[in-house]
Structure 1
């Protein structure tokens, strides 16, 4: 039960993040959005780590290569992709695309030693989840003011889901070696440095006057996104990967669409196609089958 409670908590954090992403994107361009999100999260993690004991992993060349890869696949690239996707489609669409992440983990785990023992029931559950995501991805799209380019936005979010899947496999090894706090803090700090350089080269940073004149909604959304949905979310995620395995941890991405769709519909009035709801039903059936099978195998 503890594992499922941790999975539900993580899903709640990441499911609500797409609503906050959509709100924050009203003020920040994709480069500034990614930098602000990871910068807030990094600061929160460094402060938390300093209060609980050291946060820096030390000089371990092999480990730092893992952390750099984790930073790129887990934060830098997907945060940029989602920042752009938020300008093109709805928060519900972005959340739905996250449902493909467990499938990517399943496929990639065939080439690495992930620690998961597979059954036909798990494979069936993942297949149902993948079918549900496919149904949601190809549901009819009509450009609107809040979703000017829905198909392209979904594709960017799907690519972000692939990056998250690759980071899942990387995070397990780093967490087992140095613990969740150090792994998250170090990777977030590396991401902040990388995104600061990218933003300096390509970003269109708003002026101080623009920021001061902006409504408080996007600023508050970014702070909440960085502290809770990113810093706390990644800490919980790394802990879950280390304790239950990468595929079980990635199942949060089957629950995230439900929370994301409901959040976007209730808070922002975003329309949700009937095909998307049907796809979501398949996704939830898939997570129930896969989770039960993986837990029993472990």
Structure 2
């Protein structure tokens, strides 16, 4: 266990596996009638509560002030609430594997936004990687989800907004990270803020008791809270051991887990073009990662 805790590749695989499990869990939850906002709430509240408890147990606190409040609200919206709402709303229409591919595009959009804002100097390899990745994204988008039931273009667009929102969050956390604040402190506050947003969204969009369907899948709720809490604990350890460039490859592992679990356990199937697009996205990701490593 100690060797795994200090291994970048081991932490990457574990983190990607945990993120990948969130995809089939989300499909099972929505199939059981759980609203997307409520399932996203389960993840943010569960992770936020666990991280906050760990923070307090180690003598820490949120240390809320105006600067951190702004940070919590923005990060909660673009990194957690919006992408998770889109994720769990899209999965029933696009499939677990197809939606998982969207995570692989986040590093590409992140690098593109960084170049646009001049946070990173462009290189030919990085620009070429973005180009290849975007071509792959277009190929994937044209296949519109599972082979047996192509999704409406609006759901494909919703799926593509997931990596865009995540990339905006990645850039924002870089430019507005409150000085002197630790990652656990900021993650706990952001997740709890996201939980509040999602609770308001669920209450305003669902009649009756939106939490009622959770009673039908208690084991799934417990499993999701355990997985999401462990995922963020491993996430921060990976950031410390492997750095941000290595960290960006989590989506690649999660997409592979999503595709495999979708086919083996949920009966999903995808067209050859979807696999071709996924390969192109992977090639683009490798190119942009190499460009970032060279720059570092």
| Same-fold call, TM cutoff 0.5 | yes
In structure 2, distance between residues paired with 1:119 and 1:207:
49
| Matched-pair contact (CA < 8 Å) for 1:96–1:257 | yes
The residue number in structure 2 matching 1:225 is 224
Tell me the number of residue pairs that the alignment of Structure 1 and Structure 2 aligns: 289
User: How big is the alpha-carbon RMSD for the aligned residues of Structure 1 and Structure 2?
Assistant: 3.0
| Matched-pair contact (CA < 8 Å) for 2:94–2:151 | yes
Per-residue Cα deviation, 1:187-209 (whole angstroms, up to 9, x for no partner): 01111112222222222455787
| Matched-pair contact (CA < 8 Å) for 1:105–1:168 | yes
What is the CA distance between 1:45 and its match in structure 2? Answer: 1.7
SS of match in other structure, 1:178 = coil
Q: TM-score, normalised by structure 2?
A: 0.83
The residue number in structure 2 matching 1:128 is 132
Per-residue Cα deviation, 1:20-73 (whole angstroms, up to 9, x for no partner): 1111112301222222222222222222222233141332x2232122100110
Unmatched segments (≥5 aa) in structure 1: none
| Matched-pair contact (CA < 8 Å) for 2:146–2:269 | no
Cα distance, 1:104–1:95 mapped onto 2, change above 3 Å: same
The residue number in structure 2 matching 1:71 is 76
In structure 1, distance between residues paired with 2:117 and 2:144:
37
Per-residue Cα deviation, 1:203-259 (whole angstroms, up to 9, x for no partner): 2455787554x2x4xx33333333323x34345546666887766543433443222
In structure 2, distance between residues paired with 1:194 and 1:151:
27
What is the CA distance between 1:12 and its match in structure 2? Answer: 2.3
| Matched-pair contact (CA < 8 Å) for 2:73–2:193 | yes
SS of match in other structure, 1:170 = helix
The residue number in structure 1 matching 2:201 is 198
Per-residue Cα deviation, 1:98-123 (whole angstroms, up to 9, x for no partner): 22222221221124464x55432222
The residue number in structure 1 matching 2:98 is 93
In structure 2, distance between residues paired with 1:184 and 1:193:
14
**1:25 aligned onto 2:30:** yes
The residue number in structure 1 matching 2:3 is none
In structure 1, distance between residues paired with 2:242 and 2:211:
45
Unmatched segments (≥5 aa) in structure 2: 1-5
Cα distance, 1:168–1:244 mapped onto 2, change above 3 Å: farther
| Matched-pair contact (CA < 8 Å) for 2:183–2:236 | yes
SS of match in other structure, 2:177 = helix
